[in-house]
Structure 1
Amino acid sequence: MNESSRRTLLASLAALGGAGLVAGCASPGKSLVGGTLAGRRRYDPLDPFPVIRAQADRIFRVTTCLRPFRAAGPRLDTERVGDHLVVHNYGHGGSGWSLSWGSSSIAVQKALSGGDRDIGVIGAGALGMTSALLAQRAGARVTIYARDRPPHVRSSRATGTWSPASRVALEQGLPVDFAGRWEDMCRTSFSHFQSYLGLAGTPVEWTDRYALSDIPFHEAHALRDRAGSPGFVDYHDRVRDLTPAPVDLPAGTHPFPTPFVRRSESLQFNIASLSDRLTNEFLAAGGRFEQAEFHAPYDLARLPQKTLINATGYGARALWRDESIVPVRGQLAWLIPQPELQFGISYRDVGLLSRRDGIIVQSSGVNDFAGYNDPNEQPDRAEAEAAVRVIAALMDRIVAPGRTAA
């Protein structure tokens, strides 16, 4: 944008800002919403808005991922395969990264309970890497057996947001102690992720999220409820102390053109950087990767380690013939990263999260049922472009002079 165009745009924004519709945004390093809520400071229209360049030709890849959902929640029991002890650690739905350290803590404790200190881990995704690292920290020698290593695993195609209760179980038929076990896993994971804040490469960071709506949030939630869902559990009330409470932002205290805006703050996983750090930690502690592919449980009999942690995620459906695993398909459109963007947005069933390795845009559907029991892993370019167009239209309403909120 040349200087003349910039002055014209800023003048238009200033006029719109007086009506409480549009205002500038913080420069990089500032919060998108400036000032204090108590003061209800309006935006300084001279602050440049970090416009999201949501254009189809900026999509540099489209990826899909099958979340390994189990109605009964993650599988963490043990069984014998010949003379091998297998500790299962899979089936976390959309909560694999978020629950990884807590779930793996349980798996590693079971694996080491018999005194064995030579451990094999099957799978190199989020659960495999955290299981391996925790076993090493407990004094074990660890070998990871996997067909693929990061970034060529399903975990590398995850959204990368703190979502410990995302499609993790169904409300019906759970054991009475499941909620407590989930909370323990959640809190353990949250604690472990704090040690990755502020490190080179920013593997984990806090970012703002903005939920935008054209109707009151309670009405939007009622519409989603009426649309139906399988009945996934929701345990957010048990861990509300971990993250700040969401705040509804009045007009004039945010740059968005929608009448209802809610801000929250949450952990973000920059998965490329996080996976690289976990891999390097594992190798630096003497860990070994062995490329291997298994098609049935008895294939594990050839491994020298007698204690194994099965962290194969969705792959466990085929390997263990576990029909309790239901695929929940998710697709990400990847836009070229913009370092000045440090926030996430959800609007009209589309979510956006600006990560260091790309801006990810995905259709969430009208409720949590989207993608349920859909095993299709083929990317859908039309779906990706449609999601990006929703964000593009939102940006047009923010920056185009003379526009009014629809």
Structure 2
Amino acid sequence: MNRRTLLQGMGSSLAFASTSAIPWGTLQAAGTTPDQGEPRGNRQAIRKDAPLVPVDAHVDRITEIYTCLRPFRLAGPRIETQALGNKIVVHNYGHGGSGWSLSWGSSRLALQLLSKSAPAQKRLAVIGCGPMGLTSAILAQRAGLSVTIYAKELPPQIASMGATGHWSPDSQFCSTESGAGWTDRWIEMADFSYRMYQSLLGLPGDPVEWYYGYKLSSVPFGSVAAHKTTEFAKFNNPNRRYQPIQLDLAADAHPFSYPYARRWQNMLFNINTYARLLLSDFLAGGGTIKVQNFENAQQLLGLPEQAIINATGYGAKALFNDMDIIPIRGQTARLVQQPDVNYAIRADDFFFLPRRDGLVIQYIDRAGSYNNTDDTPDPKESADAIQQLANVMNGIQS
């Protein structure tokens, strides 16, 4: 099999992507993640949940506060080919809040573009060592290319290490107006990425695992319109549901003081473990990493490789003068681990996740994050979120 055929056939030939099993049924409408509006098919829970271990929610348990600028583009991510001198560049960036979730599927599309534009190339340079860079590099290796990653920072220093780490394939992906043009490609990316993540379940360190959580409200769900700074497109796959349907809980079926509760399940990435796994797989496959910073695209002409994948995320704004990138500020706080805490909470203005590499809490719905270039950590923002979580813990019924 030649390299071009191999790249085009990645969906069925890659080593650890299992395509035979389609979970949750194949003919049901897509579910929604906790902050994506009203799910379909709610039904009453049929049992009470086991007692929950309370979260020790105090600011003195913060181990780190992360801020990052998510690279959002109204027209959607940039996955396209560009000629740069005598080199071919395939762009793979601009996924907003969907970067970790869609990385495998987006990188697969990028490699397919490369196979059409430069089928004879045996060497590849990948610029950037975030989720897009690492997955692009690994997929290229598995297609037989010799790959070198060039990056100014490596995990855990990269900005995307501060992401919440839950499966959110259409989070701030593109504007509503651009959504229709992305439907088929989004399904292709989400479907391939989802299958790849299923193959990572159960590995040492739990780089990927399933978790369950509770959405809590003082008023009926859907009775208050969510505050939005812009309209983001929402997608679903009519042939595959990526999360189980959310369940409305009866008042005596949950331990919280809120009158309305909903239970969901979703995938979670323990990003520290997962990033180390990706790095290890890349290096074990013979890959090379060079720490190097590029201030403009012309400097890429000095690379020995003729084929390049640009996976620089928000950095592409300066590197390729992409003025279509809109920064969406995000901040998370990491708390000391509690191994017995295995549930998430979405309530009031915060989102809490039971990551094994540190409990994660995020203040959400705060105005001013859209088109905000300030990546300075705000301790008060994290303290507010932790206080809200503490209030939920204090209200847990015995």
Whether 1:162 aligns to 2:167 is yes
Q: Please say if residues 178 and 233 of structure 2, whose CA atoms lie closer than 8 Å, have aligned partners that are also in contact.
A: no
Partner-residue secondary structure (3-state), 2:97 = helix
**CA 131–375 in structure 1, closer or farther in 2 if over 3 Å, else same:** same
Partner of 1:218: 222
Whether 1:258 aligns to 2:263 is no
Name the TM-score, length of structure 2 as normaliser: 0.86
**CA 274–228 in structure 1, closer or farther in 2 if over 3 Å, else same:** closer
Q: Please say if residues 364 and 370 of structure 1, whose CA atoms lie closer than 8 Å, have aligned partners that are also in contact.
A: no
Q: Measure, in 2, the Cα distance between the counterparts of 1:239 and 1:159.
A: 27
Q: Please say if residues 62 and 333 of structure 2, whose CA atoms lie closer than 8 Å, have aligned partners that are also in contact.
A: yes
Whether 1:183 aligns to 2:187 is yes
In structure 2, list runs of 5 or more residues that go unmatched.
1-42
Partner of 2:330: 330
Aligned residue runs from structure 1 range 286-305, under 5 A: 286-305=286-305
Q: Measure, in 2, the Cα distance between the counterparts of 1:173 and 1:40.
A: 41
Partner of 1:395: 393
Q: Please say if residues 183 and 238 of structure 1, whose CA atoms lie closer than 8 Å, have aligned partners that are also in contact.
A: no
Q: Please say if residues 165 and 235 of structure 1, whose CA atoms lie closer than 8 Å, have aligned partners that are also in contact.
A: yes
Which amino acid counterpart does residue 391 of structure 2 have in structure 1? Answer: A
In structure 1, list runs of 5 or more residues that go unmatched.
1-36, 402-406
Residue 122 of structure 1: how far off its partner (Å): 0.2
Partner-residue secondary structure (3-state), 1:105 = helix
Q: Number of paired residues?
A: 354
Partner of 1:17: none
Q: Please say if residues 52 and 341 of structure 2, whose CA atoms lie closer than 8 Å, have aligned partners that are also in contact.
A: no
Partner of 2:369: 371
Which amino acid counterpart does residue 352 of structure 1 have in structure 2? Answer: F
Q: Please say if residues 45 and 250 of structure 2, whose CA atoms lie closer than 8 Å, have aligned partners that are also in contact.
A: no
Q: Percent of aligned pairs with the same residue?
A: 42
Partner of 1:101: 104
Partner-residue secondary structure (3-state), 2:392 = helix
Deviations, residues 176-218 of structure 1 (Å, cap 9, x unaligned)? 5411111110101001111110000000001102111010001
Q: Measure, in 1, the Cα distance between the counterparts of 2:189 and 2:110.
A: 11
Q: Measure, in 2, the Cα distance between the counterparts of 1:370 and 1:273.
A: 32
Partner of 1:205: 209
Which amino acid counterpart does residue 178 of structure 1 have in structure 2? Answer: W
**CA 203–122 in structure 1, closer or farther in 2 if over 3 Å, else same:** same
Aligned residue runs from structure 1 range 335-374, under 5 A: 335-365=335-365, 371-374=369-372
Q: Measure, in 1, the Cα distance between the counterparts of 2:193 and 2:297.
A: 29
Structure of higher CA gyration radius: 1
- Please say which of residues 258-267 and 228-237 is displaced more in the overlay: 228-237
Which amino acid counterpart does residue 54 of structure 1 have in structure 2? Answer: A
Partner of 2:138: 133
Partner of 1:26: none
Which amino acid counterpart does residue 302 of structure 1 have in structure 2? Answer: G
Which amino acid counterpart does residue 59 of structure 1 have in structure 2? Answer: I
Larger fraction in helix: 1
Partner of 1:285: 285
